């Protein structure tokens, strides 16, 4: 592995680590809060098959950053255009719950940290899979050229930064998203076919619209916003 390859791998791993630290701080406060059991009972899959999602709400009058703990989960993500509940530590030391609906401003998903569903390995194993996929991408000149050509047009990062998990019944795929359509917010569109580079080095085209669940386990947008 070249020094450039190692730098890419180290950066990808840092995304998971820095995001995890920020989520851990909020999560500890959330679990200590006396109202936490009510939200966990309402959404029992939260933190299990449903990942922890860090969101920023930017407004003209107020701003808030926190974890989504309630709302509409469609199997692929939270509906941030509708109403949802944000747990934030911005106003009170012990944390507070903010009902977000009709927010007069911008809502940004900063990133996700995976839960511990039945088909998912622990965090250390996920870091290893992410490192393997990044290593294989960096070693394949054709993939690097294709990504660079698209990145120059879209203004993307120099290398793939989205590590996703898709489930189709008993089958589970995890890998770097290296191709696919974008939605209106310039995020990957999981209503169509996306191409994943798996940790073993194989590439697969998957119809995300047919998946039972799609979760972004690592999203580089968080690193860009937290630097």
Report mean pLDDT in 10-residue bins for the chain, 227 residues: 51 52 82 87 80 82 84 83 87 81 77 66 78 91 88 76 85 90 85 93 93 78 29
Residues with Cβ within 8 Å of 109's Cβ and at least 6 positions away in sequence, in order, are 53, 54, 55, 80, 219, 221
Bridge partners for 88 per DSSP: 66, 96
Pairing state of beta strands 52-59 and 96-100? unpaired
Extents of the domains making up the chain: 17-113, 118-226
Q: Which H or E run includes 31?
A: helix 3-32
pTM of the entire structure? Answer: 0.52
pLDDT of residue 119: 54
- Closest of 2, 22, 215 to residue 116, by C-alpha: 215
In angstroms, the first-to-last Cα distance of the chain is 27
Residues with Cβ within 8 Å of 145's Cβ and at least 6 positions away in sequence, in order, are none
- Closest of 174, 226, 172, 168 to residue 198, by C-alpha: 174
Bridge partners for 142 per DSSP: none
Angle at 154 between CA 153 and CA 156, to 5 degrees: 115
pLDDT of residue 11: 44
3-state class percentages of the chain: helix first, strand second, coil last, to nearest 5: 35, 35, 35
pLDDT of residue 205: 95
**Cα–Cα distance, 130 to 216 (Å, whole number):** 12
**Cα–Cα distance, 103 to 81 (Å, whole number):** 9
Residue appearing with tokens 């870091």 = 127
Residues with Cβ within 8 Å of 52's Cβ and at least 6 positions away in sequence, in order, are 23, 27, 46, 67, 112, 113, 115
- Closest of 155, 162, 172, 110 to residue 133, by C-alpha: 162
Helix ranges (H only) for 33-122 are: 36-42
Q: Are 210 and 168 within 8 A, CB to CB?
A: yes
């Amino acid at each position: 592995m070249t020094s450039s390859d190692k730098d890419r791998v180290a950066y990808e791993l840092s995304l998971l680590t820095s995001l995890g630290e920020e989520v851990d701080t909020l999560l500890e406060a959330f679990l200590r809060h006396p109202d936490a059991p009510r939200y966990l009972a309402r959404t029992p899959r939260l933190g299990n098959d449903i990942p922890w999602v860090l969101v920023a709400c930017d407004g003209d009058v107020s701003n808030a950053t926190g974890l989504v703990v309630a709302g509409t989960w469609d199997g692929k993500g939270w509906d941030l255009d509708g109403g949802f509940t944000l747990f934030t530590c911005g106003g009170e030391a012990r944390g507070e719950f903010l009902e977000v609906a009709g927010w007069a401003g911008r809502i940004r998903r900063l990133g996700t940290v995976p839960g511990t569903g039945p088909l998912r390995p622990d965090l250390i194993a996920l870091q290893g899979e992410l490192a393997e996929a990044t290593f294989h991408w960096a070693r394949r000149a054709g993939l690097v050229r294709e990504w660079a050509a698209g990145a120059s047009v879209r203004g993307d990062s120099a290398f793939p930064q989205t590590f996703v998990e898709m489930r189709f019944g008993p089958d589970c795929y995890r890998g770097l998203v290296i191709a696919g359509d974008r939605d209106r917010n310039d995020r990957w569109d999981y209503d169509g076919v996306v191409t994943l580079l798996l940790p073993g080095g194989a590439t697969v085209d998957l119809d995300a619209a047919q998946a039972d669940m799609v979760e972004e386990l690592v999203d580089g947008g968080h690193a860009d916003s937290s630097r």
